[in-house]
Amino acid sequence: MLFFRGPQIAQSIESASRELISELPSLAKGQAIISGVAINTPTLVRIRKRLTSDVRGRSKDAPALWAERRKYEEKHERTGD
């Protein structure tokens, strides 16, 4: 997540309107503006409290999870369960 101050915001979010930029100082704790290639329009969002106690973000090993699921499905396909 990137944090910007002042004119950096307007320069980094090309599609942000002046109205949106003017609202930035009034954002409450836990609010953010999400912008990027996957989002057509910069969007105001609320960030929820962390549900896990794990302080560090961890990515799941998707290929290992897929392989595990495939083995499970193959096993149950053969046994008819």
Query: For residue 55, what pLDDT is reported?
Result: 67
Query: For residue 22, what pLDDT is reported?
Result: 76
What is the C-alpha separation between 36 and 41, in angstroms, rounded? 8
Query: Is it the case that residue 47 has pLDDT exceeding 60?
Result: yes
Q: Read out DSSP for 15-43?
A: T--HHHHHHGGGPPTTEEEEEETTEEEEE
Higher pLDDT, 79 or 4: 79
Query: For residue 30, what pLDDT is reported?
Result: 87
Distances (CA, A) of 74 to 19, 45, 70, 77: 55, 41, 6, 5
Higher pLDDT, 70 or 57: 70
Strand, helix or coil for residue 46: strand
The mean pLDDT of the chain is 76
